[in-house]
Amino acid sequence: RTDEACRMTTTAKATLLGTCVGAAGIIYFVHNNQQSDRELLRVGVVKDAERQERKRRNRVDLEYQLQLQHKLEEEEKRVLTPPKS
């Protein structure tokens, strides 16, 4: 009788197995989801750094263009202004 009392029924074994497999599946899914999220965050940081570098280069280019425009306007004034006599 003690042997029979200590033995698990087939239903109990199936329930335990199903619970263990389900828990392992959930852990696997959560782990992969976290890795994917971390990778997306890393990519976002890299893209942000690239975007900031592009903005900085655009500002430098704009300043250079404004300097050239100013020089051109000065040159046009000098050329188009009649000499004073």
pLDDT tens for 2-57 read 555 567 788 999 999 999 999 999 999 999 999 999 999 999 999 999 999 999 99
pTM of the shown model? 0.52
Phi/psi at 34 (5° precision):
-65, -40
Q: What is the pLDDT of residue 8?
A: 77
Q: From residue 58, give the alpha-carbon distance in Å to each of 30, 31, 50, 54, 71.
A: 42, 41, 12, 6, 20
Q: Are 8 and 16 in contact (CB under 8 A)?
A: yes
C-alpha span between 54 and 42 (Å, rounded): 19
Radius of gyration of the chain (CA): 37
